[in-house]
Structure 1
Amino acid sequence: MSASPAGLVDLLNLVDLTDLLVKEKALVFRGFGITAESYDEVTTALLPRRLAYIHGNSPRTKVGQNVYTSTEYPPEFTISMHNEMSYAHTWPSRLLFFCEQAPTSGGATPVVDGQLWLESMDPEIRDAFAGGVRYIQNLHDGYGLGKSWQATFETEDPAEVEAFLDKAGADWKWKGDGTLWISQLRPATTRHPVTDTEVWFNQADQFHIAGLGDDAREMAELLSEDEMPQSVTFADGSPIPAEYITHIQETGLRLAVDVDWQAGSLLLIDNVLVGHGRRPFTGPRRVLVAMSG
């Protein structure tokens, strides 16, 4: 069996990948000579049901058949631990990251065990989230702060968006300037469909002003909370204390294990059992990601 993209595909045919991934939670593949050209073939083998990033809230560029750049935040920022699209009514079960170009320094993808994250949380904070969280989004009509509704849902058709949100059980309305306002009540934890393990599973810290950078905090001084591109409260609409957000982020990052990147390497994660993030980096870095149900 050769150390090549075809060799990796042959290897995957010999193992029960679902059982292996549930057991290990995250898998790293190195030394198979994966390139941007062969990534699609390998992705098809690893992700049999590749998904579009519909209702995704982070800035990305679509570069292939449901293949995207990893989150395009400036390199000096840490991206806190999270499970992809845990704020939505459905989410991908697997994520496959591919390093096309490794950075000069830093830029690791940290991963954290979601059960450990939950169990390591301050009991007071864990109990406070028992009722779930409410996510608020204001998606502009092409000009404004944050992502537009067209980019978020990958369509220009408002009726498609409305049907999607109705199916998701979200509250929504169109504002006079074309902005789409969305409110969703979601649980703070979930259970893995195979192991029944309960894990921390929400993105309250990434919707909360205290979990964002200085630019977002300056924006909050100019806009009301209901006008922000995104915000979050407890289920009953009461505010989430900033210190809770800090504790959530610091706990996740402290428990995380860094996966350092080499060009051509892959990282496959179970998106329920494992949260992920990004360390700051220098130099050019290109990591692609695909998702599956």
Structure 2
Amino acid sequence: MSDRNGWAPLEVRPGDLGAEPSPEALVDYLDSADLGALLTREKAVVFRGFKVPHDGLDPVLDRLLPRRIAYVHGNSPRTKVGSNVYTSTEYPQAYTISMHNEMSYAHTWPTRLTFYCAAAPTSQGATPVVDGALWLESLDDGVREAFQGGVRYTQNLHGGDGLGKSWQDTFETQDRDEVDAFLKGAEASWTWGPDDNLMVSQVRPSTICHPKTGAEVWFNQSDQWHPASLGDETAKALAQIMPAEELPQSVTFADGSPIPDAYVLHVRDRGLENAVDVDWYEGDLLLIDNVLVGHGRRPFTGPRRVLVAMSD
């Protein structure tokens, strides 16, 4: 794990604690540590070499994330594999996933994330993490200024048959009334269309300040929601099928004006350039402050299986 600009996640190993490599040693440490203060100070912490088995994960997660929450309104394809524990992503392994803060497009988002390595990749497959304040600082002045008014996210969720995620998978319910109640509380705009389809629109800020440190950080997923991030050929093919506003997800500036391709590619590339790679070994965990730190995924080969859980 290499650092960029003087920052890297803190690594905690059994030897640092004078302990044997075991999940019990990690639980004992977490019971005695001021985890909130540690995470605010370090932004991200890797628990390396404690050999936490999959069937021994819950006691560790109970301490790292005392209030695990469901992935409701999440846009990434995931599978639920336990008590509010999910696969980290199901995008093809050959692709890089760019830097982002989990659910920064939503009205509320997790404050903490924990990643757990159930199976290490054969090669590559790191989880890159980036200091959100550094990411913001690295952007060109014109790009930062253009985003000052915030962004508008649009989702087109099908009712069970179509491109992208269904609203049932997105909101983990079959009940439209539950979805209506959720979206009303999220201050979103939405309409139900033909074939049980749902269109959701939300205006969100492009940056926020951390509630404890006051640090202003880049905090939006405009590059991931923009067609330009799909690559020239894929974006061109989609544009021939449907306009941007009918894609499963799209983004504009808050006033509805288009975001130039060059801006979102600049944002994407600066995030990845300033990221620090966390390599994976089976049984390791990574805890991050979801406001102070963005994360992504490097391409990989082999059986990589990384799980994620979230906390409010």
TM above 0.5, one fold? yes
* Partners of 1:103 and 1:285 within 8 A in 2: yes
Shift in Å at residue 284 of structure 1?
1.2
Shift in Å at residue 38 of structure 1?
0.7
Q: Which residue of 1 aligns with 2:222?
A: 204
2:101 is aligned, of 83, 87, 93, to: 83
Shift in Å at residue 217 of structure 1?
4.2
Q: Which residue of 2 aligns with 1:57?
A: 75
Q: Measure the CA separation in 2 of the matches of 1:16 and 1:122.
A: 37
Count residues with an aligned counterpart.
293
1:255 is aligned, of 264, 274, 291, to: 274
Give the TM-score, by structure 1 length: 0.98
Q: Does residue 1:287 correspond to 2:301, yes or no?
A: no
Q: Measure the CA separation in 2 of the matches of 1:75 and 1:223.
A: 27
Q: Which residue of 1 aligns with 2:237?
A: 218
Q: Which residue of 2 aligns with 1:108?
A: 126
Shift in Å at residue 216 of structure 1?
5.0
Letter of the aligned partner of 1:80 in structure 2? S
Q: Which residue of 2 aligns with 1:19?
A: 37
CA-to-partner distance for each residue in 1:257-278, whole Å, 9 max, x for gaps?
0000001100000000000000
Q: Does residue 1:174 correspond to 2:192, yes or no?
A: yes
Q: Which residue of 1 aligns with 2:212?
A: 194
Unmatched 5+ residue regions in structure 1?
none
Q: Measure the CA separation in 2 of the matches of 1:103 and 1:148.
A: 30
What secondary structure, in the 3-state scheme, does the structure 1 residue paired with 2:306 have? strand
Structure 1's 109 and 156: CA in aligned 2 closer, same or farther, altered over 3 A? Answer: same
Letter of the aligned partner of 2:65 in structure 1? L
Q: Measure the CA separation in 2 of the matches of 1:68 and 1:54.
A: 12
Q: Does residue 1:242 correspond to 2:261, yes or no?
A: yes
Q: Measure the CA separation in 1 of the matches of 2:31 and 2:236.
A: 49
* Partners of 2:159 and 2:196 within 8 A in 1: yes
Letter of the aligned partner of 2:295 in structure 1? H
Spell out the pairing of 1:138-177 with structure 2 (5 A cutoff): 138-177=156-195
Q: Does residue 1:119 correspond to 2:144, yes or no?
A: no
Runs of at least 4 residues of structure 1 off by over 6 A? none
* Partners of 1:70 and 1:289 within 8 A in 2: yes
Q: Measure the CA separation in 1 of the matches of 2:230 and 2:76.
A: 13
Give the TM-score, by structure 2 length: 0.92
Q: Measure the CA separation in 2 of the matches of 1:217 and 1:36.
A: 42
Residues 269-278 or 209-218, more deviating: 209-218
Structure 1's 112 and 182: CA in aligned 2 closer, same or farther, altered over 3 A? Answer: same
Shift in Å at residue 106 of structure 1?
0.7
Letter of the aligned partner of 2:21 in structure 1? A
* Partners of 2:227 and 2:244 within 8 A in 1: no
Q: Which residue of 2 aligns with 1:67?
A: 85
Query: Equivalent pairs: percent with the same residue?
Result: 66
Shift in Å at residue 288 of structure 1?
0.2
* Partners of 1:208 and 1:232 within 8 A in 2: yes
1:10 is aligned, of 10, 28, 34, to: 28
Letter of the aligned partner of 2:293 in structure 1? V
Letter of the aligned partner of 1:174 in structure 2? W
CA-to-partner distance for each residue in 1:100-121, whole Å, 9 max, x for gaps?
1011101000000000000110
* Partners of 1:26 and 1:270 within 8 A in 2: yes
What secondary structure, in the 3-state scheme, does the structure 2 residue paired with 1:98 have? strand
Q: Measure the CA separation in 2 of the matches of 1:176 and 1:74.
A: 31
* Partners of 2:117 and 2:281 within 8 A in 1: yes
* Partners of 2:127 and 2:295 within 8 A in 1: yes
Shift in Å at residue 5 of structure 1?
1.1
Q: CA RMSD in A?
A: 0.9
Structure 1's 216 and 289: CA in aligned 2 closer, same or farther, altered over 3 A? Answer: farther
Q: Measure the CA separation in 1 of the matches of 2:32 and 2:72.
A: 32
Q: Which residue of 1 aligns with 2:51?
A: 33
CA-to-partner distance for each residue in 1:242-289, whole Å, 9 max, x for gaps?
000110011000000000000110000000000000000011110000
